[in-house]
């Protein structure tokens, strides 16, 4: 007798991964040199060589631009011990294991990058670089700016008119390089492979199985172009390309500090979706994101778009607890400049905060010229804990009038409540004056005090006793005092109270000394908080006093961290009723029937007004706001900060830009004295004559579609970045991009309709050996899907994916992002990006670090990724729903048809003969069985999810 054998899920996964691997070239092993060139060299360029290269000051004496450099090491000895990860000082530094040696200083590297360095060292630290040769004497005297200005990326594009007019520009220049490198072009990709590639590249989602079959039946050039046009017009195009740019913009819905939630950040994300779907010119998108709030047009929808786009400037992950607000502001603007530089121009602007850039033409003067622009804005609302700015979103005049009316009504209601409460309690309403003759006990007003040092009389803050109050005039700590002494006092025990007006600029530990009959006691008062007694008074304690004896109170500004306020001191005999209106007799008044009726009426009026106040506040709070910054009082000059210290001033510089790039001086001269200069900053970056901007963006789009940029260091176009593999192609594409109105969709169509894009990923052995990294595009690059596409594809297979666009998924009232439970079935784009609570799948599959501008995500391939898909409850549930969906369709008559349906749903293709046989064997206990167990179908779905053909694009 034969018994059915049920394969385990793990065994099936292994089987399917081998089968799928046999269908493509997805698992080709890279040699050690390739690993260094693709993983280690780019990381060294991006994070290390600014300070540890031959032409730098070689911090710590360590050079990392050659094998000899790290082998010799610096002050602490050799940086790397090949084969021994834990013994290598470099690893200790980048792991942040030793607080005395933490590199890079601006922040710990992503875990995936650290893992790459560990793998590299464990495998022997293969490094093909040689010791850089020293320059000749003439070059040695050349300034950094003079040398860097000769770099290709700072020069205007070189355009050949004959090439520019070619319809096949991309293929002509790519094929020319292929021929010169003696490579063989791969054959065109199969239709099913091509449509899957195109669908994921243009909308981040798998194609519909019926669409794949129809395209395979009529795979003509006309059908392909029609497919491209349809995908470009799909709303999902904007969603997918918005997610690309969100990596660059370091988008997040929270900040790390205390998990604060940025409730308005989603509007910036939705702006990007709209902008890409409308094919908004990219130069306009630049202006929107840097100065959109200052470029009003009078068109409400356009003004809203532009204003919301400035959220780009407010997404930084700042330390809002920093009590040195000047330092906080400089750190904040430094993050803004660094992100702007990387995102739009491929420049590490922040390197010039402390000194002239070591490699690129960015001087400290340039840096502080740009810093002056952002010092002329208001980036944060400061308090003990600073906060980001949520500005009112532009609305129609009718809506504005309504909100203005609601605010005025709210003010009237609040004043009425305050007035009625004052009548109800017999106490003066907050904000009114407190008459001296209304107070019981002995009261010494500030006008009767004796002062040492300069004190200033004021009536700015209410309520106060008498005619005003005094505050210390300047910050000469410990040199000022105010003494309050009654002329006469009877022997007895008194409660001593102090009156003051609280405020955010007050001292938190005001020293008050009470001198009584037999003691002297010091009390510290936090004058930033309202007095606990009626908001104006605080008790200093109870003390015995004797007639003719010591009886006075002295307030000083010793150790004061803000203004010290003195208003009045009250000596209240212990046992006397605590009441402010001494002349009235509230008890007798309450006993009268008339007064009880008055009180009842007041209580009812207050209750009704409070309900109305609550309603009005809710309506006013519904006014839409957006994340942004705002214009401040312009400052025409900002001083260079010596070595980046915000408190060490150097020479002042006028507001401007990077002098060596584009028409910097032309735009700097246009900065008005009464404006910050953000508008001119945006115009300078978006200027067609800026040699960096179009190149950088075109290179990004190329990398999003082809797997890697023509310049592989996508955020670094400076002299330490990689040179372009096809400089002519990059220049011509950049110029055409400008000439075609900065249209992203036209650029995308030009790339995806090229033969280079439509090639198969299969290469012959000779081409593999000559060009192991496929830098010359003789074939398509095999690419892993981003985690958002993986998640969305699983939901699409299950039938759960909801295509609703826009809006926020953050629960109302959520104040912190810790342990957030990501739920729902909308596209992954709309999941909140919480810096403290990324979904586990996102962490496993190299989601971009949302705290820094990311040009190219890490592409790690580790076992934990497959294990995450195999074990994650959400994935298991998704597989179960997919299985149920297919079983409920009941369109299959036998297991082979069911397997075929699953392959089309999950992989957008038919199973091979070998795959079909293996899957049918797994599903059926006997060959004749036509009712496979639902659990086995679920296991098969999950195995397809974990397969490399699901996770990768050929």
The DSSP line for 638-649 is EEEEGGG-TTSE
Stretch (H or E) spanning 789 = helix 787-798
pLDDT of 28: 35
Q: How much is the pTM?
A: 0.72
Q: What percent of the chain has pLDDT over 90?
A: 58
Which residues pair with residue 569 across a beta bridge? 444, 498
pLDDT of 603: 83
Half-sphere exposure of 234 (CA within 13 A, CB side): 22
pLDDT of 910: 93
Residue 448 has pLDDT above 80, yes or no: yes
Which residues pair with residue 74 across a beta bridge? 77
pLDDT of 634: 75
Question: Model confidence over 891-918: pLDDT tens digits?
Answer: 777 888 999 999 999 999 999 999 999 9
Provide φ and ψ at 525, rounded to 5°. -120, 130
> Rounded CA gap, 565 and 505, in Å?
10
> Rounded CA gap, 368 and 867, in Å?
49
212 close to 200: Cβ distance less than 8 angstroms: no
Q: Tokens 């021929």 belong to which residue?
A: 179
pLDDT of 798: 95
> Rounded CA gap, 277 and 75, in Å?
54
pLDDT band at 577, cuts 50/70/90?
A: low
pLDDT band at 881, cuts 50/70/90?
A: very high
Q: State the sign of the Cα–Cα–Cα–Cα dihedral 817, 819, 821, 826.
A: positive
pLDDT of 17: 44
pLDDT of 140: 41
Question: Model confidence over 418-439: pLDDT tens digits?
Answer: 877 776 665 544 445 788 887 8
> Rounded CA gap, 444 and 374, in Å?
49
Residue 7 has pLDDT above 50, yes or no: no
Question: Model confidence over 40-93: pLDDT tens digits?
Answer: 887 887 788 878 887 666 666 788 888 888 888 887 788 899 999 888 989 988
Orientation of helix 300-309 relative to helix 282-291, angle to 10°: 70
Residue 141 has pLDDT above 50, yes or no: no
Q: Which 3 state secondary structure label does DSSP give 214? A: helix
Q: What percent of the chain has pLDDT over 70?
A: 89
pLDDT greater at residue 605 or residue 576: 605
Half-sphere exposure of 403 (CA within 13 A, CB side): 16
899 close to 883: Cβ distance less than 8 angstroms: no
Stretch (H or E) spanning 625 = strand 625-628
Question: Model confidence over 302-328: pLDDT tens digits?
Answer: 999 999 999 999 999 999 999 999 999
Residue 6 has pLDDT above 60, yes or no: no
pLDDT of 67: 85
pLDDT of 14: 45
pLDDT of 837: 94
pLDDT band at 8, cuts 50/70/90?
A: very low
Each residue of 883-907: b (16+ CB within 10 Å) or e? bbbbeeeeebeebbebbbbbbbbbb
Residue 574 CB contacts under 8 Å (≥ 6 apart), including other chains: 492, 493, 494, 495, 542
pLDDT greater at residue 842 or residue 97: 842
HEC profile for 2-36?
CCCCCCCHHHHHHHHHHHHHHHCCCCCCCCHHHHH
701 close to 125: Cβ distance less than 8 angstroms: no
Instruction: List the single range of 91-105, 302-316, 447-461, 524-538 with lowest mean pLDDT.
Output: 91-105
> Rounded CA gap, 674 and 684, in Å?
19
Q: Tokens 């006013």 belong to which residue?
A: 620
Q: Choose among 381, 359, 203: nearest CA to 721.
A: 359
pLDDT band at 4, cuts 50/70/90?
A: very low
Provide φ and ψ at 24, rounded to 5°. -150, -170
pLDDT of 438: 78
Tell me whether residue 673 is exposed, middle or buried, using C-beta atoms within 10 angstroms of its C-beta: 0 to 12, 13 to 18, 19 or more.
exposed
pLDDT band at 194, cuts 50/70/90?
A: very high
> Rounded CA gap, 664 and 396, in Å?
37
Residue 481 has pLDDT above 70, yes or no: yes
Q: Choose among 240, 241, 261: nearest CA to 252.
A: 261
pLDDT of 474: 65
Find the mean pLDDT for residues 223-237.
96
Stretch (H or E) spanning 537 = strand 537-545
Cα 185 to Cα 238, 773, 870: the distances in Å are 32, 15, 37
Question: Model confidence over 670-713: pLDDT tens digits?
Answer: 999 889 999 999 999 999 999 999 999 999 999 999 999 999 99
pLDDT greater at residue 426 or residue 200: 200
Residue 855 has pLDDT above 50, yes or no: yes
Each residue of 257-266: b (16+ CB within 10 Å) or e? bebbbbbbbb
Provide φ and ψ at 573, rounded to 5°. -55, 130
Each residue of 696-709: b (16+ CB within 10 Å) or e? bbbbbbbbbbbbbb
Q: Choose among 803, 927, 767: nearest CA to 25.
A: 767
818 close to 254: Cβ distance less than 8 angstroms: no
Query: Six-digit token pair at 108?
Result: 């710990």
The mean of the pLDDT values for the chain is: 87
pLDDT of 515: 93
639 close to 649: Cβ distance less than 8 angstroms: yes
Residue 585 has pLDDT above 50, yes or no: no
pLDDT band at 2, cuts 50/70/90?
A: very low
Residue 495 has pLDDT above 80, yes or no: yes
């Amino acid at each position: 007798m034969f018994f059915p054998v049920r394969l385990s899920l793990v065994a099936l996964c292994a089987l399917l991964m081998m089968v799928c691997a046999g269908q493509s070239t997805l698992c080709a092993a890279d040699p050690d040199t390739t690993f260094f060139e693709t993983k280690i060299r780019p990381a060294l360029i991006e994070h290390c060589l600014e300070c540890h290269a031959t032409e730098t000051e070689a911090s710590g004496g360590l050079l990392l631009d050659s094998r000899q450099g790290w082998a010799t090491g610096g002050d602490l000895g050799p940086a790397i011990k090949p084969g021994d990860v834990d013994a290598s000082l470099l690893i200790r530094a980048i792991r942040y294991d030793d607080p005395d040696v933490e590199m890079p200083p601006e922040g710990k590297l992503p875990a995936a990058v650290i893992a790459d360095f560990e793998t590299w060292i464990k495998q022997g630290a293969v490094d093909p670089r040689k010791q850089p040769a020293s320059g000749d004497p003439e070059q040695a005297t050349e300034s950094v700016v003079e040398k860097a200005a000769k770099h290709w990326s700072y020069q205007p594009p070189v355009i050949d008119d004959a090439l520019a007019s070619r319809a096949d520009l991309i293929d002509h220049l790519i094929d020319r390089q292929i021929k010169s490198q003696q490579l063989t072009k791969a054959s065109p990709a199969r239709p099913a492979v091509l449509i899957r590639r195109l669908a994921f590249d243009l909308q981040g989602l798998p194609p519909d199985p019926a669409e794949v079959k129809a395209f395979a039946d009529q795979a003509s050039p006309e059908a392909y172009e029609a497919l491209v046009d349809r995908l470009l017009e799909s709303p999902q195009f904007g969603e997918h390309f918005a997610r690309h740019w969100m990596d660059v913009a370091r988008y997040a819905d929270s900040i790390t500090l205390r998990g604060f939630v940025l409730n308005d950040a989603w509007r910036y994300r939705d702006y990007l979706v709209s902008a890409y779907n409308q094919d908004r010119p990219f130069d306009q998108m630049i202006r929107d994101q840097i100065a959109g709030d200052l470029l009003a047009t009078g068109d409400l929808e356009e003004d809203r778009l532009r204003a919301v786009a400035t959220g780009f400037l407010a997404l930084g992950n700042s330390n809002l607890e920093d009590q040195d607000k000047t330092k906080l502001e400089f750190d904040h603007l430094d993050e803004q400049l660094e992100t702007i530089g990387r995102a739009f121009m491929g420049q590490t602007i922040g390197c010039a905060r402390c000194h002239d850039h070591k490699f690129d033409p960015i001087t400290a003067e340039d840096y502080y010229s740009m810093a002056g622009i952002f010092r002329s804005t208001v980036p944060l609302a400061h308090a003990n804990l600073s906060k980001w700015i949520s500005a009112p979103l532009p609305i129609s005049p009718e809506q504005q009038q309504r909100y203005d009316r609601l605010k005025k009504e709210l003010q009237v209601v609040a004043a009425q409540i305050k007035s009625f409460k004052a009548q109800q309690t017999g106490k003066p309403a907050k904000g009114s004056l407190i008459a001296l003759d209304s107070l019981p006990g002995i009261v010494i007003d500030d006008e009767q005090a004796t002062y040492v040092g300069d004190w200033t009389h004021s009536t700015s803050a209410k309520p106060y006793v008498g005619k005003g109050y005094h505050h210390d005039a300047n910050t000469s700590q410990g040199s000022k005092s105010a003494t309050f002494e009654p002329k006469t006092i009877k022997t007895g025990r008194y409660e001593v109270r102090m009156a003051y007006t609280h405020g955010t600029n007050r001292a938190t530990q005001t020293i008050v000394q009470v001198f009584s009959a037999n003691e002297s006691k010091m009390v510290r008062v936090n004058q930033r908080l309202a007095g606990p007694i009626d908001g104006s008074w605080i008790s200093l304690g109870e003390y015995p006093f004797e007639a003719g004896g010591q009886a006075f109170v002295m307030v000083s500004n010793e150790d004061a961290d803000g203004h010290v306020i003195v208003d009045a001191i009250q000596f209240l005999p212990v046992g006397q009723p605590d009441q402010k209106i001494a002349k009235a007799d509230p008890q007798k008044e309450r006993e009268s029937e008339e007064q009880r009726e008055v009180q009842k009426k007041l209580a009812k009026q207050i209750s009704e007004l409070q309900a109305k106040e609550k309603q009005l506040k809710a309506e006013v709070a519904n006014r839409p706001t957006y994340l942004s910054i705002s214009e401040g009082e312009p400052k025409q000059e900002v001083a260079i900060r010596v070595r980046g210290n915000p408190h060490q001033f150097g020479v002042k510089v006028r507001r401007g830009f990077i002098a060596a790039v584009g028409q910097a001086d032309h735009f700097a001269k246009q900065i008005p004295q009464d404006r910050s200069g953000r508008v001119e900053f945006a115009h300078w970056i978006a200027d067609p004559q800026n040699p960096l901007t179009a190149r950088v963006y075109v290179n990004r789009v190329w990398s999003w579609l082809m797997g890697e940029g023509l310049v592989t260091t996508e955020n670094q176009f400076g002299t330490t970045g990689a040179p372009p593999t096809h400089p002519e192609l990059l220049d011509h594409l950049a110029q055409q991009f400008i000439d075609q109105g900065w249209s992203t969709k036209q650029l995308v169509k030009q790339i995806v309709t090229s033969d280079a894009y439509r090639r198969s990923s299969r290469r012959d052995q000779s081409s593999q050996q000559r060009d192991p990294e496929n830098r010359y595009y003789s074939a398509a690059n095999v690419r892993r899907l981003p985690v958002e596409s993986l998640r969305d594809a699983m939901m699409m297979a299950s039938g759960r994916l909801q295509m609703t666009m826009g809006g926020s998924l953050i629960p109302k009232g959520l104040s912190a992002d810790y342990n957030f439970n990501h739920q729902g079935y909308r596209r992954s784009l709309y999941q909140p990006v919480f810096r403290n609570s990324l979904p586990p799948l996102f962490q496993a599959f190299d989601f971009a670090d949302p705290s820094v501008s990311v040009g190219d995500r890490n592409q790690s391939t580790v076992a934990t990724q497959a294990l995450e898909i195999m074990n994650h409850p959400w994935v298991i549930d998704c597989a179960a729903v997919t299985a149920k969906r297919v079983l409920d369709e009941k369109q299959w008559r036998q297991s082979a048809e069911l397997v075929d349906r699953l392959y089309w749903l999950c992989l957008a293709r038919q199973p091979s003969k070998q795959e079909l046989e293996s899957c049918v064997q797994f599903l059926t206990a006997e060959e004749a069985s036509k009712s496979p167990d639902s659990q086995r179908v679920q296991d098969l779905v999950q195995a397809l999810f974990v397969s490399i053909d699901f996770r990768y694009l050929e």
